[in-house]
Amino acid sequence: MAKTKIKYVCQECGYESPKWMGKCPACNQWNTMVEEKEIKTTRHRGLSTDVNKKVGKPESITTIEMEKESRITSDMKEFNRVLGGGIVPGSLVLIGGDPGIGKSTLLLQISSQLAEKNLKVLYISGEESVRQTKLRADRLEIKSENLYVMSETNLQELGNAIEEMSPSIVVVDSIQTVYHSEITSAPGSVSQVRESTAELMRLAKGNGIPIFIVGHVTKEGSIAGPRLLEHMVDTVLYFEGERHHSFRILRSVKNRFGSTHEMGIFEMKEEGLIEVTNPSEIFLEERSSGVAGSTIVASMEGTRPVLVEIQSLISPSSFGNPRRMATGLDHNRVPLLMAVLEKRAGLLLQNQDAYVKVAGGVKLDEPAIDLAVAVSIASSFRDQAPKPDDVLIGEVGLTGEVRRVSRIEQRVQEAAKLGFKRAIVPTKNLTGWSAPSSIEVIGVQSVQEALKVSLGGS
């Protein structure tokens, strides 16, 4: 007989307690403990369902035979690159994003493209009926006979359909609507999400079927449910963008089969999502050249160099504590670089408000943008525009030195391709490669030297 036990589970972090508490001791959130009934059973199923495979027996790594499995590619090159070159058979991919951002549209388009290649695709929607999914398909002009649609939230029925149909690709939209009948908690709870994902992982690994699952996000921007969810899947993708703007960014934050922090750009139109092959042109098309506080940086997003504009506005503060605000980059980086400029370059910034923004809605988190941010702040403070054909690349240390960055050759080549004439880079990055003839590369050792080259003067 199965034993039933009552427990209280935090819906934010998954912390379990035998008694109710107003505040979760793990994540310090209030009123997140929800009562759930835990039914303990002795039935467990392994990952592999293939009787020809040896299960549970250790093997020497030198005796394991590898079969090269080709990835499944769609017609969207941006989507393939974010996944590391295509869809890996048997992988479990989690896609998260804000409501209405276009997750279902993206997956329905990918499903249609794969179905056109004679692959059997099963699209399971727990939030829409089959007729509502058909309405979206008609808007996207999807008419593939190999694309099958199903509206189901029961995990057992869902698993039976996958076992009977044996599709090449499965999409589950969304994991928060799927429930396990043996678990008494509501769909979307920590227990339901954990058990449903574990069962889908067994189906994916055991049958070699890649499964895409859609996850809702919280108001903080993280995927709802336990943190364990992101550890269980093979790949975690975030679909970002402003709902009132047409551009969307698909970002990889975890990938067992490719590089992380890869980024793909899409544009939302009436006929669906269209991939953007050259995002640097998109981010720079509305740039105002010859304006103080505007600089260009070549940032690496995964394996791709992207040129974006950094804007700064420095104005005298009306209060005792000046404001430091940043959009698109770490807000702690702005006061740090302002302190370096004040100490090493002699700029009196302690009574100035600072507003720094990465134009275009993209988020940058690598240290190579430090030099561009510092020059942008100094340019706005002096009200002196930098040269419009300059690209700045480099990490800034606390002593004012400009430090080496990675993949400098790719960054400079991207800048030369877009017509920039000068690249201001760390001196340590000048050796070991050759720059294109159309761009001049200038090495700097300190912030003071970079300000002199870019803005002129001392």
Q: Residue type for 431, please? A: T
Is 104 labeled as ligand-binding?
Answer: yes
The CA–CA distances, whole Å, from 435 to 392, 403, 409, 411 equal 15, 19, 7, 10
Is 99 labeled as ligand-binding?
Answer: yes
Is 102 labeled as ligand-binding?
Answer: yes
Reported as type and span, the H/E element at residue 131 is helix 130-139
Is 100 labeled as ligand-binding?
Answer: yes
Alpha-helical segments (H) within 302-358: 333-344
Residue whose tokens read 């149909």: 165
- Pair 382, 455: CB distance under 8 Å: yes
- Pair 448, 344: CB distance under 8 Å: yes
**CA–CA separation, 458 vs 394, rounded Å?**
20
DSSP-assigned letters across all residues of 57-113: ----TTTPPP--PPPB--S-HHHHHHTTSSBPTT-EEEEEE-TTSSHHHHHHHHHHH
Among 189, 145, 193, 144, which Cα is nearest to 172's?
193
Among 313, 351, 310, which Cα is nearest to 330's?
310
Phi, psi of 380 (to 5 degrees): -70, -35
**Beta-bridge mates of residue 440:** 422
Is 87 labeled as ligand-binding?
Answer: no
- Whether the bond between 174 and the residue before it is cis, its omega within 30 degrees of 0, is yes
**CA–CA separation, 207 vs 192, rounded Å?**
22
Binding residues: 97-104
Binding residues for ATP: 97-104
